[in-house]
Structure 1
Amino acid sequence: MKKLTIVMAVIGCIMAEVLAMSVSAEETTTQPDYANYGTDHCCDWTDDTTEGTTFYDDEWIDGTSHCVPDEDEYYDGTSGEYNGFHWAYSNHTLTISGNGKLQKENIYDVCPWSDFAMYVHKLVIEDGVTTIGSYVFVYFTNLEEVSIPNTVTSIEESAFYGNCNLKSIVIPDSVRKIGDYAFASCDNLRDVTLSKNLTDVGMYSFYTTPWYCSIQPEGAENVLTIYNDILFQASRVQGDFVIPDGIRVIANHAVYQQDFMTSVTIPDSVEYIGTNAFENCLSMETITIPEGVKRIGHSTFMGCNKLKNITYPASLEYLGFQQYSENLQSLTFLNPNCKIEEQIMITPYVGTIYGYPNSTAEAVTKENGWAFIPLEGETENVPEVAGDANNDGRMSLVDVVQVHKMLQTRKAPPKSCDMNKDNKVNVIDLSLMKQRLFNE
């Protein structure tokens, strides 16, 4: 009897404890796990009927203009090292310091600040950073202010993608490249100051931003999106397309897949033609590339099946990887020192390559077993690449070192290294070579 009484007492205690835990659980309000809110919970989740509130999964957050509440005490005051750079986070401000390229080790790498990206309102990148790498600041959904120093020369693909509270950005004149989708889906970005020295403008670099929408004109045909001296996009192009004077850069994919365009005339103000700029223009039969064009990106004429002849001007210093159609009959290279990346023809290629003897064009032709016909005249009469001391078709650090050694040993550097055109090569020209190399 005593044993039964003891057992009943124990069972009663257990049931009482379980009941108490149940009541406690019912009285406790579970807070949403904001740290696990992904990109689907961005700035569009608002209810217009309730001013000053933001709506999340049946939770109301009163009196805030941000997507998440300020519950970042866990991260505030933290800092660390990442790929040679120092980062520090305090009072909603992320500061990055260091020298060189700020980038991920690989596409699967996760930056340490990704854990608290939603809490960052201000981003400060200090002097010394030269490249803002791909995907390093994606989905900073409450970021409002970004400071980019004038040491940055390149902003890579999707670097600031999806920063939906960013309203303005100043890109310093030191920046020469903006990669594909760099500021795409920054849905409140209305004020953009672009670098005046851009030479490489990526596909959809400002896609869906209000700023980009504001510079897009309306029209029935030949609709051109132009800002400053950059042709961002051409659409509804028909017949003979004459690109307006004053354009300096044709952006990546700018004239992509214009099926009713039959010819293109490029003005002599253009210096840079981007990657895939004329890809899949199926009806294009002719294109005129003028003197003044210095660089052409890769796959520029891929899918242009009716294009039969292309002449690359003497001013062209670099030609990226190209894949031509089976109907191409000839390529003409007027700069014997142009750096030419791999050129792919439909095999067997029965067309002809024209160029100067002992030129890079001849070397590419012989390497692939294509027909080569030398142009009349001596190679020396064709403009040289400025600063190209070793005659490899481009100026690089190797040329700078070579000229430096030649000046030290009192040997005369090549005339191509006379950067200021005063008919002599000295330390002033060496300094100009270094400056140009840094800018590139």
Structure 2
Amino acid sequence: MRLLHTSDWHLGRTLHGVSLHEAQSAVLERICELVEDPPDGVPIDAVVVAGDVYDRGVPPVESVQLFEWTLSRLSQVTTVVVTSGNHDSAIRLGYGSGLFRDRIRMITDISMIDLPVLLEGSDGVQAAIYGIPYLDVDHARAALARGGETLPRSHQAVVGAACARIREDLGGRAGVRSVVVAHAFVAGAEPSDSERSIAVGGVDRVAGTVFEGIDYAALGHLHGPQAPECAAGSVVRYSGSPLRYSFSEQDHTKCALLVDLPAAGPVQVTEVEIVQPRAMATLRGLLEDLLADPAHTTHEDSWLRVTVTDRARPDSLMDRLKSRFPHVLQVFHEPDGRIERGVRGTTVVSERDPRELGSDFIAYVSKAEASEGEIACFVEGYEAAVRAQSLAEAQEREERGATSASEEPSGIRARRSEEEVA
């Protein structure tokens, strides 16, 4: 039996304010092509999608339409098994699942954990595919509890309880290969910047050993393809997202996983690269070099994060960069030679030497050591400001003295006049 494992489509997501709908359509087109025309001609018996179909609970209309189009196309040639992730609304994602034909299986309800999708592959191998939707700990610890005691408040406890129920069901299915489709953070795996934390009380990880006794665990949540440690005899894999969703993923090779389950023996996993519709890169340098260097020609159509190192921040920085790199998304100004100034005790500003104060101020603003000319200019301005403040304070004191008598209440002035006469 052969499966195609994918996850974390995040339909409806943006990248620094830029819509990714077109790019997501392109990578889903590639997944459909893999299923319709497998690379070695071996048919794919099922596609498993391990959660985070959408990027938020109420996705844009165009994202719902894209998902519908993808399901329709895939289900024409194979079975599709979908579970919900922490970004999905399980109720919305699972709406209508009871009306779908057998080739579309939506597993979004915790009560469906030990009710497998039973398949027979083109080679006669039988498999039971169990879906574990993302488990909200506070709900799942009660729903999965047995014996009247609520489970501990952790992902380890609830995912472990779900897998225990799956193993119980498997006990009565001799000769059937087992697959679990789950959305979780397995200890030892590497996250990226684009995943939303699922920590509860500071704990978000589960041990790979919870999948003991399972032939293959198809995981979602983490966006980089990887294989965390697991129990002996089990294969646990993240397919990763099919599209790069942050600059921390710019070096990821995005893929879908072909999973071969023979009648007996170890599971075989093959990565199939999903070519990205747009490259992603990070550039750093002086603005004029970035705009003129021919070495950057390959990045003119990439999504870019750019750090400009000029001493002073150039005018119209974003516009000038976009004149060559129209898809630049992030721009930072970090002058070369920048210095970091820590807090120098608790000395109040008025008691500090103006040269020291000026040097720190200029270094803070420009991120570079102040020159003698800059310090001298600052000191001159500082001293002029001090003189002006002293003059203003003296003038204010004179004005208060001249008007103090007229500002006294009439009763006080009358008594003072009587005292003077006496």
Question: Could you say whether these structures have the same fold, taking a TM-score greater than 0.5 normalized by the shorter chain as the test?
Answer: no
TM-score range (shorter-chain normalised) is under 0.3
Bigger relative contact order (CA 8 A; separation at least 6): 2
TM-score normalised over the length of structure 1: 0.24
Bigger Rg over Cα: 2
